[in-house]
């Protein structure tokens, strides 16, 4: 069955359902937000999800504008993915919304069950359209992120290491020719230049190792690798990074270490590109040896999560996916800088279950 056929089937009972729900949309929205909050969905996430729900799409449904409805829901699905709201929270939101609508569709005087069935089918279609669009956007962004990382490494190898090695090769050839001629006077200066080029190449390799992550983790250990990365970030950007730890386990699974290292990389990259921050505060620790947490907060200009989809959220796809794949939770909050406001900036919070994964 196509979506158009479905709409044709529910056309009449859906209009009746809208008549029943319209006077109660305010109460439905309040109950829905309360239900989301009870399972840990933040108010900002509810604001992002709200345009997908029935009360926000009523104008299209009353006018029976199927194409407009489908287009809006699919577009909102893309916005949803870029906003940092998880797919699980989005799916739960549709289910909870239906639960909040049903009491107003099953009153004793309403003998027919068709309005409730029509709303259930409509919400199922909305969920399908939004999450399908969400998935397509996620796949596209993930591929773009991988390609961007490959280009970045390739560019660094070519511009830094490749260039230095080519010039070093030239100096060695020049020194070889001097030796063949028996002219050793210029060798000292050229040798010093060659040594400087080797030092630059070594520094470039170290920087690439920092960006690649796992090599640094293996060489220095998790916390020391984070400190080195934070220190190098401060030296390059002038943005102060304060790193604090509390009750950290002696060892962590390598998958946890890599994921947290990548999240820190992504968060600091967003800070330098978008936030105009002067300071970043990073906190890591364990709660009762059952949950590992990391918080990254900056004092930048922030933004409004409910109304803005900033470019910085592009990298959030990769961050969130890394954490959720490990069974963890990823959350972002932001406070836009406004006249008179004391708090502004952005905070990323990550929780990972420890269980038997620590020593």
Over the stretch 48-87, which tens digit does the pLDDT of each residue have?
889 888 888 888 887 777 778 888 888 888 777 667 677 7
User: Under DSSP, is residue 119 helix (H, G, I), strand (E, B) or coil?
Assistant: helix
For residue 157, being part of any structural domain is answered with no
Q: Is the pLDDT of residue 350 over 90?
A: yes
For residue 196, being part of any structural domain is answered with no
Q: Is the pLDDT of residue 285 over 70?
A: yes
Strands 279-287, 291-298: pairing kind: antiparallel
At which of 104, 128, 143 does a domain end? 143
Banded pLDDT at 156 (limits 50, 70, 90): low
Contact 21, 104 (CB under 8 A): yes
E-strand ranges in 166-224 read none
Count Cβ atoms below 10 Å from residue 240 Cβ, excluding itself: 14
Q: What is the pTM of this model?
A: 0.49
Overall number of domains in the chain: 2
For residue 161, being part of any structural domain is answered with no
Out of 36-45, 184-193, 305-314, pick the least confident. 305-314
Banded pLDDT at 108 (limits 50, 70, 90): low
What six digits make up the tokens of 310? 């900033």
For residue 163, being part of any structural domain is answered with no
Which residue range is the domain that position 322 belongs to?
220-359
At which of 96, 117, 143 does a domain end? 143
| CA triple 276-206-272, angle to 5 deg | 5
């Amino acid at each position: 069955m196509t979506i158009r056929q479905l709409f044709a089937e529910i056309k009449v009972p859906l209009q009746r359902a809208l008549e029943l729900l319209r006077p109660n949309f305010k109460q439905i929205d309040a109950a829905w937000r309360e239900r989301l909050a009870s399972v840990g969905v933040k108010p900002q996430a509810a604001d992002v999800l709200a345009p997908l729900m029935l009360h926000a799409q009523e104008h299209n449904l009353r006018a029976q504008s199927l194409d407009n409805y489908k287009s809006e829901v699919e577009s909102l699905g893309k916005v949803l993915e870029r906003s940092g709201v998880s797919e699980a929270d989005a799916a739960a939101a549709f289910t909870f919304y239906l639960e909040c609508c049903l009491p107003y569709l099953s009153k004793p005087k309403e003998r027919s069950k068709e309005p409730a069935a029509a709303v259930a089918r409509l919400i199922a279609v909305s969920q399908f359209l939004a999450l399908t669009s969400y998935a397509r956007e996620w796949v596209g962004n993930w591929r773009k992120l991988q390609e961007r990382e490959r280009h970045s490494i390739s560019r660094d190898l070519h511009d830094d290491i490749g260039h230095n090695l080519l010039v070093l090769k030239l100096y060695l050839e020049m020194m070889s020719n001097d030796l063949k001629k028996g002219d050793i006077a210029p060798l000292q200066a050229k040798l010093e230049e060659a040594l400087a080029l080797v030092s630059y190449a070594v520094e470039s390799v170290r920087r690439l190792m920092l960006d690649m992550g796992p090599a640094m983790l293996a060489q220095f250990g998790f916390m020391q690798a984070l400190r080195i990365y934070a220190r190098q970030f401060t030296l390059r950007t002038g943005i102060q990074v304060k790193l604090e730890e509390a009750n950290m386990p002696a060892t962590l699974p390598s998958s946890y270490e890599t994921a947290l290292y990548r999240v820190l990389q992504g968060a600091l990259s967003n800070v330098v590109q978008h936030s105009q921050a002067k300071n970043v505060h990073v906190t890591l620790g364990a709660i009762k040896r059952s949950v590992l947490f990391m918080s990254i907060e900056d004092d930048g200009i922030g933004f409004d999560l409910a109304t803005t989809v900033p470019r910085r959220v592009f990298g959030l796809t990769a961050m969130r996916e890394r954490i959720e794949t490990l069974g963890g939770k990823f959350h972002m909050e932001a406070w836009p800088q406004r006249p008179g406001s004391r708090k502004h900036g952005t905070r990323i919070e990550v929780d990972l279950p420890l269980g038997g994964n620590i020593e």
